[in-house]
Amino acid sequence: MNDLIYPIFVEEEIDAPLPVDSMPGVERIPEKALEGYVESVARDGVKALMMFGVSHYKNPTGSDSWNPDGLLARMVRKAKRAAPDLVIISDTCFCEYTDHGHCGPVEHDQVPNDVTIENLGHQAVVAIKAGADIVAPSAMMDGQVAAIRKALDAAGHPMAPIMAYSSKMASAFYGPFRAASGCDLKGDRKSYQMDPLNGREAIRESLLDEAEGADFLMVKPGMPYLDIIARLRQQILLPIVAYQVSGEYAMIKFAAAAGALDEPRIVRETLGAIKRAGADLILTYFARDIARQGF
Ligand code: PBG
């Protein structure tokens, strides 16, 4: 249980939790109920949260995400206040805050790398100043780890850790997440995320992030990419994080609901396999159930 991170979705300006149809058991938490929610999750035994905001103030750059009074900063502050011992990880990206759903601004039909990494630096500083323990850049821009490290150092946070989504594939397994996070993506992310079938590129990207100063490296999705986790484990000493993503969760939930799979056993087996491959930490939407019921 100590190795699991629970991803949550927080929406501003709603009064009641909103179930996510494609992810049974997952709901968007109203910002106004966040403190109570975080307290109860901590009481259940969850040790770390990855936070995603569902913004009502989207614009072409996603600038609400680096507004010190915007949703991202507020939810980090509230979560930290509610459960100071819980590790709060702030997903550092723009796709929940841009009106086109891309992970940065769009210019001439492209997401410009250098502007985006500068903005990621602004967002990371705001998240850390709000109290986040770790920032987790997931935009897959070149040089994003170095840019964030530089911005955090310059803002007086040289010790703030970076959990880099490093080997992140342009995967169809993120489908349910897009609904959960209210990301209405037009197009795809193939110009910045990686080709799912190119294993060598996945290793190269993680090694680059290590060289740029990442403190953790993440492989995402989890189960279809156990080979990447295992190969990385042999090459690096940094902690490896794996993300059992929304599509993996949905497959298990719907198959279990249809009576085809035994959910607790499958959860145990899939997370165990990710560990066996070499991951130290796992992001999973099953984390709260496991905290309550045991592994
Ligand atoms: C992007 C982000 C995504 C996920 C986590 N961070 C979606 C994407 O890259 O399109 C997916 C997680 C999941 O599917 O559970 N900020």
Domain range list for the chain: 4-293
Q: Residue 124: which pLDDT band, with cuts at 50, 70 and 90?
A: very high
pLDDT (tens digit per residue) in 225-279: 999 999 999 999 999 999 999 999 999 999 999 999 999 999 999 999 999 999 9
Q: What is the pTM of this model?
A: 0.97
**Domain 4-293: CATH superfamily, name plus number:** Aldolase class I (3.20.20.70)
C-alpha to C-alpha distance for 89 and 266, rounded to whole angstroms: 27
C-alpha to C-alpha distance for 8 and 159, rounded to whole angstroms: 25
Instruction: Write the DSSP symbol of residue 140.
Output: -
C-alpha to C-alpha distance for 269 and 71, rounded to whole angstroms: 36
Which residue owns the Cα nearest ligand 1 atom 7? 174
pLDDT (tens digit per residue) in 83-96: 999 999 999 999 99
Position 72 pLDDT exceeds 90? yes
Tokens of 188: 């795809």
Q: Which residue has the tokens 């949550």?
A: 8
Q: In the predicted model, what is the mean pLDDT of the chain?
A: 96
The single residue of 58, 78, 168, 253 carrying the catalytic annotation is: 168
Q: Which atom of ligand 1 is nearest to the CA of 94?
A: 16
C-alpha to C-alpha distance for 158 and 288, rounded to whole angstroms: 32
The single residue of 32, 220, 253, 275 carrying the catalytic annotation is: 220
What is the H or E stretch that residue 249 is in? helix 246-257
Q: Which atom of ligand 1 is nearest to the CA of 175?
A: 14
Cα 277 to ligand 1 centre (Å): 22
Tokens of 179: 């609904």
